[in-house]
Amino acid sequence: MRSLEKSEQLFHLSQETLAGGVSSTLRNVMKPVPLYLEKGKGSRVWDVDQNEYIDYIMGYGPLILGHSNSELLEEVSRATLNGQQFGMQHKAEIEMSRMIVNQVPCAEKVAFSGSGTEAVMLALRLARAFTGKQKIVRFEGHYHGWYDGIYTSFPATVSGGSDSIAATQGQSEQALKDILIVPWNDAQKLEAVMKEHGHEIAAIITEPVLCNSGCIYPVEGYMELIRRLTTEHHALFILDEVITGCRVAAGGSQERLGILPDLTTMGKAIAGGYALSLVAGRRDVMDLISSGKVAHLGTLNGNMVALSAGVATLNILNRNDGEVFKRMESVSDALVEGLGKLMDAKGLPHLINRIGSVFHLMFTELKEVQQYPQFLTRDVAQYTAFTEAALQEGVLLRPSGLWYTSAAHSMEDVEETLRRLEKAINRI
């Protein structure tokens, strides 16, 4: 039995001065205790009790190159020696924006921020300014950040998030009055909402795949429907690629799935673990920032450290005709196949939905999950027990069921993971 004594002591100590004991609410759900880590290298992390783990949380998505990638750290160190924050312009802004324009299908201009939430805020502001309309259509179970004007219909602190009410206490009662929620993959209801409210709708915002909620793909023709309806009703199509951007392909899911939105948001993987996000899209929309009609503010926007990390990360990912993406795909193939065989052998009903190096493992009798309410029926208690057992065997997993692989994960890691998880399953 692995000792987590020091993590338990530190978590107890943290609650004296740190609200909630953690710096992001979701981190509090880890059982038996939120883990305190000391170092990470490649695909592995070590906690304060010196336990080693193969990591599939990967910083909640940003660590596409793995922990402590030497080339990335060298580039960031070189940049930092020249100054950490100017509040003025520098060449890395131009270099990174040109890279995004060259590889992301919808990108004609780019604006940088620090988090996915900030990027979504800017995208929605641009849509409202460009169209002169106020309402936003979003879908059940999608996550677009935690600010008041969009945070609902996602597992949260009040209602579980399966409806259109505020997701947390303290959220403005008026914040969601312009949000229209539609069931995912329901073409008929989407068309009905657009028919009734199209004259008021500034944008439809969607994830390409519900990464946080079962990695549910759009049914055939659904993205094309969104594209058609937004065009017909003079609204913008916003694709939230904070998770998938520059992770599932160099051009994100736009490249992989053949989607062309008006605006996209990206974050997480684009800087390999440093705080960077962006909005990219049509020149005529983005020029609202250039003209000063739309405010885009932020003390740390485009700071040299984050942008240097972004340039280094994209250079590594794009090298040798995207060899890193191909390797991550192969490793993910092997891991998903091995997990499926292991679950079958142990008699555990399950389903794995996946896009590239992101996948969701669910304990369920369902053969497919295409709607958010189906995802909510999965056996959460059993999966939580599985993650606790995996922790004891040295595999670090999110209790939600979302897995990330990285450029640092190897076939040897996959083999070792499956050996450890077989022992974990025997515990539950």
Catalytic residues: 143, 240, 268
Q: Which of 161, 142, 100, 150 is nearest to 121 (CA)?
A: 150
Give per-residue burial for 227-253: e unless 16+ CB within 10 Å, then b: bebbeebebbbbbbbbbbbbbbbbbbb
Helix (H, G, I), strand (E, B) or coil at 397: coil
User: What is d(CA 205, CA 239) in angstroms, rounded to the nearest whole number?
Assistant: 6
**Residue 103 backbone dihedrals phi, psi, to 5 degrees:** -115, -15
CB 183 within 8 Å of CB 153: no
| Bridge-based pairing state of the strands 179-182 and 135-139 | parallel
**Residue 216 backbone dihedrals phi, psi, to 5 degrees:** -80, 125
Say how many C-beta atoms besides its own lie within 10 A of residue 147's C-beta. 15
**Residue 36 in tokens:** 């305190």
CB 372 within 8 Å of CB 210: yes
**Residue 17 in tokens:** 């001065």
| Bridge-based pairing state of the strands 263-266 and 236-241 | parallel
Q: What is the DSSP letter of 186?
A: -
Residues facing residue 136 across a β-bridge: 179, 203
CA 215 to chain centre: 11
Q: Which helix (H) or strand (E) holds 10?
A: helix 5-14
Number of continuous H segments (helices) and E segments (strands) in the chain = 12, 14
**Residue 103 in tokens:** 């590889």
Long-range contacts of 52-55 (CB under 8 A, 24+ apart): 52/394, 53/391, 53/394, 53/395, 53/396, 54/394, 54/395, 54/396, 54/413, 54/416, 54/417, 54/420, 55/396
